[in-house]
């Protein structure tokens, strides 16, 4: 079921309306609180959770059409790959609503990882201490998520989807509270419990796991004290090209800014290999406009700096200390000027 079904819809299976409604009943969101959905689809779920609260909604969506639709409903919407293209302040959000694609990453089979755990690992750090996680995944995937959940969250509760919604993807909702540090012993105990739930048959899980309607927890989401960064390195060409054309910038860009510098004449001693060409592209030596199979492409090589969380610790006064490392990623971007599409190669 899950793999073929989910791939057919390109991973889009919005949270059922009945569950949105039940979840909203549990939320107590302060005005200006920030809530994040890094796989927001068309944005209905995030908008429904925030409705009438004065919360500020932040969404990310990979599919361009769904992102365009979501932009109508979400205050801050980024179109792009939430796992690699975003620059988001750690500790900035009070609620993380995460209903990721139920699938494996694209690496060769042996190294492929569940996407659910990659999203959880990446986005748990965006919650501030005591912020709330609501994770929606097939319950069997808890085995892959158990260690991240147990290390970073306390008070974890697993709820089953109602029977009429359960059978397609066997989903559960996991609700937990962000902690900067959970003791090893508590984490090991919780990990074992989650693994045990993940190993149940669907019938036993459905019969034993509580329903969301029975949850008595209030999820209080206060407004944050600090500003936050929420940016994507991807440019939406459908928005950018008309603006650039109108401004007349394109002509200058092609003749001056993107054209290789005069001193860049290269005379290689041996024929160039693909690796050399890739480095030259990413280094900007081949920037400019080219014609390929009847398409006009504008090419630009860039090197992106990203940050990776190295460690999170709590100091004596209870503040969270986040240590990050800089990573540099060469990227080639090509804009197809006729179709207004962008191709990104990393
Ligand atoms: C399960 S749906 C969730 C929709 C919405 N959050 C909800 O619960 O109603 C997952 C969404 O994640 C999007 N998605 C898949 N991979 C993504 C990625 N790498 N970055 C951002 N969004 C992604 C899919 O296009 C799809 O719309």
Domain boundaries, the chain: 2-231, 235-345
Q: How far is the CA of 241 from the centre of ligand 1 (A)?
A: 26
Tokens linked to 302: 């860039």
Pocket residue to mutate for ligand 1, from 36, 62, 119, most atoms within 8 A of Cβ: 62
May I ask the CATH class of domain 2-231?
A: alpha beta
Q: How far is the CA of 46 from the centre of ligand 1 (A)?
A: 12
Smallest CA separation from ligand 1 atom 19, residue: 81
C-beta of residue 122 within 8 angstroms of C-beta of residue 25:
no
Candidates 237, 239, 195, 256; CA nearest to 340 is 237
Report how far residue 249's alpha carbon sits from residue 270's, in angstroms, rounded to the nearest whole number. 38
Report how far residue 36's alpha carbon sits from residue 280's, in angstroms, rounded to the nearest whole number. 38
* Nearest atom within ligand 1 for CA of residue 40: 6
Report how far residue 127's alpha carbon sits from residue 89's, in angstroms, rounded to the nearest whole number. 9
Smallest CA separation from ligand 1 atom 26, residue: 12
At 1 the pLDDT is: 35
Q: How far is the CA of 227 from the centre of ligand 1 (A)?
A: 26
C-beta of residue 33 within 8 angstroms of C-beta of residue 223:
yes
Report how far residue 267's alpha carbon sits from residue 285's, in angstroms, rounded to the nearest whole number. 13
Q: How far is the CA of 193 from the centre of ligand 1 (A)?
A: 28
Beta strands in the chain (DSSP E): 27-29, 34-37, 56-61, 76-79, 86-88, 93-98, 127-138, 153-160, 171-178, 219-221, 230-232, 288-292, 295-314, 320-336, 341-345
Quote the Cα angle for 69-99-218, to 5°.
Answer: 105
Q: pLDDT tens track of the chain, all 346 residues?
A: 334 444 435 678 999 999 999 999 999 999 999 999 999 999 999 999 999 999 999 999 999 999 999 999 999 999 999 999 999 999 999 999 999 999 999 888 888 999 999 999 999 999 999 999 999 999 999 999 999 999 999 999 999 999 999 999 999 999 999 998 899 999 999 999 999 999 999 999 999 999 999 999 999 999 998 999 999 998 877 777 777 677 666 666 555 555 555 555 566 677 777 777 777 777 777 777 777 777 778 888 877 777 777 777 777 777 677 777 777 777 777 777 777 777 777 7
Smallest CA separation from ligand 1 atom 27, residue: 41
Neighbours of 259 (CB within 10 A): 13
At 264 the pLDDT is: 53
At 10 the pLDDT is: 65
Q: How far is the CA of 62 from the centre of ligand 1 (A)?
A: 7
Pocket of ligand 1 from Cβ distances under 6 Å: 10-15, 37, 39-41, 44-45, 60-63, 66, 81-83, 99, 101
Pocket residue to mutate for ligand 1, from 48, 73, 101, most atoms within 8 A of Cβ: 101
CA 299, 231, 72, 178: dihedral to nearest 10 degrees?
Answer: 140
C-beta of residue 254 within 8 angstroms of C-beta of residue 281:
no
């Amino acid at each position: 079921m899950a793999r073929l079904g989910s791939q057919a819809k390109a991973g889009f299976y919005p949270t059922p309306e009945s569950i949105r409604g039940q979840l909203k009943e549990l939320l107590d969101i302060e005005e200006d609180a920030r809530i994040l959905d890094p796989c927001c689809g068309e944005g209905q779920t995030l908008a429904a959770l925030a409705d009438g609260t004065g919360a500020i909604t932040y969404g990310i969506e990979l599919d361009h059409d769904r992102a365009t639709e979501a932009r109508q409903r979400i205050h801050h919407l980024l179109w792009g790959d939430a796992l690699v293209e975003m620059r988001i302040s750690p500790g900035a959000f009070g609620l993380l609503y995460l209903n990721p694609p139920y699938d494996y990453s694209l690496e060769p089979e042996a190294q492929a990882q569940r996407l659910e755990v990659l999203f959880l690992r990446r986005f748990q750090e965006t919650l501030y201490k005591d912020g709330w996680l609501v994770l929606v995944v097939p319950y069997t995937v808890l085995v892959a998520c158990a260690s991240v959940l147990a290390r970073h969250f306390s008070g974890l509760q697993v709820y089953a989807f109602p029977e009429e919604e359960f059978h397609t993807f066997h989903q559960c909702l996991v609700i937990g509270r962000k902690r900067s540090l959970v003791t090893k012993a508590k984490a090991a105990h919780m990990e074992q419990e989650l693994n045990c739930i993940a190993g149940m048959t669907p019938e036993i899980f459905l019969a034993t796991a509580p329903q969301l309607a029975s949850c008595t927890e209030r999820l209080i989401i206060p407004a944050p004290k600090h500003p936050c960064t929420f940016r994507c390195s991807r440019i939406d060409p459908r928005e950018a090209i008309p603006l650039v054309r109108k401004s007349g910038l394109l002509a200058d860009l092609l003749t001056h800014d993107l054209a290789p510098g005069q001193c860049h004449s290269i005379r290689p001693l041996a024929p160039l290999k693909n690796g050399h060409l890739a480095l030259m592209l990413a280094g900007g030596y081949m920037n400019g406009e080219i014609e390929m199979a009847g398409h006009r492409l504008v090419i630009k090589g860039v090197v992106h700096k990203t940050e990776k969380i190295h460690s999170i610790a709590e100091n004596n006064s209870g503040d969270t200390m986040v240590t990050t490392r800089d990573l540099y990623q060469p990227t080639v971007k090509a804009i197809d000027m006729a179709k207004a599409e962008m191709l990104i190669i990393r």
